[in-house]
Structure 1
């Protein structure tokens, strides 16, 4: 891929930092949208302030090739109180609406907008297999939130901007909260089946997330929903057993559903319910996963 200019909103987050470093290594120019300019900026990265009163980021964003929106409060952070749910929803909506406004003002539009999304848009099911062609939307907080995010981002298409929604599964990565929570009980020799164990976990290795985003930038055929999940989702019981096997720890202490609901509130749906999601768009377009199986992914992330 030729050198391009990429704007990243949410560049200081878990995925954003790794993506920034990856794209820098490829020789691309990176602009990070931030509420506060960094005191110790990265080399070859420029920062543009946004979302503060009086900010006009569009004045610094002409001739940009790609916008990547990873901004917003992570769905993995905090307990899902009504107040926190509102923060998750609004942070994503405000950032996406502002990106659409910026794009609308630019004389030279970017070719592509890649917007963060989530497989939580699909309803929970023990039996159904979801692809990007599935039209069902979950009738819960996450389903409605993701649907609104995507509909807002889709407005970029009216300006001739190719738009793709990265529907992330459970991202497994070093330092990622999801993997830390899943592996901690096993490290304490207290790992076991969570809930019924029959619920699906559609997961993906952090490196494949970054590679998918690069693939989407390069491939003009990719637009609309993109399931960013490994092609081998697993039921929770098998998922836990695989963690135990890789860490050489027992899988024996069950975590009952009622205890998880008490601890996490509505957020418990992320671990007690799930979806079997397949990355049909990526596979059809010839994307090759570096970590297609959970065992390979966990060995890379957990074994030093």
Structure 2
């Protein structure tokens, strides 16, 4: 009998719309000769089973099952495509651990660590991983523009500390704009991160490690036509040039992949992860770890898997089988 795979999407952050797109591509990429995929939408307290895009039943949160067509449907595996809370910060992972249902992403501790950019960066600094200087401001803190500029210079990036990198992020060139940028980040997270600007080439590197094999995907160089890789640049056709494999040397590519592998292990990651960098003068400056990276047809990970000569279906099947074995 085929295993039932819940493709879980939705969530409670501004990246809900991205999650919907990711889930559709993952759903279509599940090998139906091996598995039976089901769409499960989570939004706040409403968890629903959808069939052909329409809600048909409520999920029973007591055991993550559902009554459908007069039968009790139980899920053997959860493929999490929620960007932001509760699917990327460890909350949902804790629930599935309690339910003893295997899932596709990092575990509770790893998800919580990597979701908090400030904590993750400061943890990784201990291992001599290069990164920009940063300052964290909690909602309600005094915004001292002079002190921030003195420490970090201009321009700076202001972004939500806990959350994705699509919303609430601003490139600030003038001191007078700092306060508004911090307040915009606070709308997405209770903490804002102000980061030193490093002028270089944006590189992103995907990978997955399984029990018996690892896949270090070809890296991608990102050339947004906007000032930086914001939501519009990510999801507007033609707004960004994305080149996979990146036009960097084989030696630099290997360095990037090895660094991503090191970060994956240091953060105790699981499932497909994407690590973002700025490459300047031969040095990869760490930006962040994405533990539920975008999986839309135009997202980096599907591009990288295709460039490696695989289909997304192949990798998803390996991840599911790895956790169910």
Q: Please report the TM-score for the alignment, with normalisation by the length of structure 1.
A: 0.37
Q: Please report the TM-score for the alignment, with normalisation by the length of structure 2.
A: 0.36
Higher helix fraction (1 or 2)? 1
